[in-house]
Amino acid sequence: MSLDEICSDIANKLNTGILIIDNEYKIVLWNRYLEIHANKNIDNVKGKNIFEVFPELPEKWFKRKVESVFQLNAQSFCSWEQRHHLFELQHTRPITTNSHFMAQNCTFLPLEAKNNSQHVCILIEDVTDVCHYQTMLNKTLEDLAQANRIDGLTQVFNRKHWEECLEKEFSRARRYQHGLALIMFDLDHFKLLNDTYGHLGGDKVLIETAKVISSLLRLGDLFGRYGGEEFAIILPNTDKMGAIDVAERIRVAISENVIKFQESQIKVTASVGVAIINENDLRYEDLIANADLALYDAKASGRNLVCFAKEVAEDYNI
């Protein structure tokens, strides 16, 4: 067996696609692997333009890639993470993916024949398994990261992540002299509600309340469950009157919301405290303390009220 025959035999037994094109993008050779996965015999494609055989190729991008190989006389690479696939080749993996075509790593190698003619050899590796399992892993990691940020019951931010957000917003507001407001509200007589309807009823109230409040907020507002039946909202770039207006809308929305649970219709109210950043606030905890004192004032003044700082802003009782 001659050396050429040995090389040809090896190429046809490799589990990698081998495709050679000349500097006019005409197909010179490909191996058995490509014949199987492209379902085309070499005799039927040899001498044809690669874009005619594979019309799905991104022509401008592909030409830039090949021309850089010619000009630099150096190999180049394209991974499945950059482009899922270049060539529409059916994969044969016994797994379910969201693509009919194999994920590919493609290596572009410069070749120079004895007559100084230039060619590029493209090695096509099937990495469908890697792509599939890496995608599953990434999704799992994203889900875990999301679970670490979200309160499992109400699907708003949990306290830990919410406080991390407040710390960042507080630093940003101090640095750039931006407004920052904080709303904290607590559902009134929640223990009695739990005693009356059970914890399932209480959970239903928390879930539905969180949904109602979420629908009232801006995209940049940060809503979290501070603990138990207490919630908190960060309002970036918001002044006193803007914060009080939002707080009042929240109080009214909660008081008007009717929550259906089993055979009952539950109505609740909330006491709301509002604070804005001021020059005496050195830490984000100071802002929390001020809003918490305002919340305490709202409860002490009869509940179902909005209070600002340590004074009742206005009597919003209905």
Per-residue pLDDT reduced to its tens digit, 145-180: 888 899 999 999 999 999 999 999 999 999 999 999
Return the pLDDT at 315: 41
Residue spans of the domains in the chain: they are 3-134, 150-308
Report pLDDT for 314.
42
What CATH number matches the domain at 150-308, 2.30.110.10, 3.40.50.720, 3.30.70.270, 3.90.1640.30? Answer: 3.30.70.270
Query: Per residue in 182-223, pLDDT tens?
Result: 999 999 999 999 999 999 999 999 999 999 999 999 999 999
Residue 139 scores a pLDDT above 80: yes
Cβ 92 vs Cβ 39: under 8 Å: no
**Per-residue pLDDT, 150:** 94
Nearest by Cα to 183 from 225, 232, 147, 218: 232
Angle CA 128–131–132, to nearest 5 = 85
d(CA 78, CA 13) in angstroms, rounded, equals 23
DSSP alpha helix (H) spans, 150-189: 159-176
Q: What is the mean pLDDT of residues 254-269?
A: 94
Using an 8 Å Cβ cutoff, are 112 and 119 in contact?
Answer: yes
CATH 3.40.50.300 correct for 3-134: no
Residues of the chain with pLDDT > 90: what percent?
Answer: 73
229 is catalytic: yes
Least confident of 62-71, 126-135, 295-304: 126-135
What digits encode the pLDDT tens for the residues 10-38?
Answer: 888 888 999 999 999 999 999 999 998 99
pLDDT category at 318 given cuts 50, 70, 90 is very low
- Which is the catalytic residue, given 163, 208, 229, 230? 229
Residue 268 has pLDDT above 70, yes or no: yes
What does the pLDDT average to over 267-292? 94
Quick one: tokens of 54?
Answer: 């594979």
User: How many angstroms separate the CA atoms of 90 and 85, rounded?
Assistant: 11
Burial of 202 (0-12, 13-18, 19+ CB in 10 A): buried
Assign 118 a pLDDT band (cuts: 50, 70, 90): confident
Confidence of residue 6 (pLDDT cuts 50, 70, 90): confident
**Of 145, 183, 162, 154, residue with least CA distance to 275:** 183
- Report residue 310's pLDDT band, with 50, 70 and 90 as the boundaries: low
Lowest average pLDDT, out of 29-33, 109-113, 118-122, 218-222, goes to 109-113
Counting residues of the chain whose pLDDT is more than 70, the rounded percentage is 93
* Cα distance between residue 274 and residue 156, in whole Å: 20
> 313 pLDDT band (50/70/90 cuts)?
very low
Mean pLDDT, the chain, whole residue set? 90
Question: 60-64, 74-78, 146-150: which has the minimum mean pLDDT?
Answer: 146-150
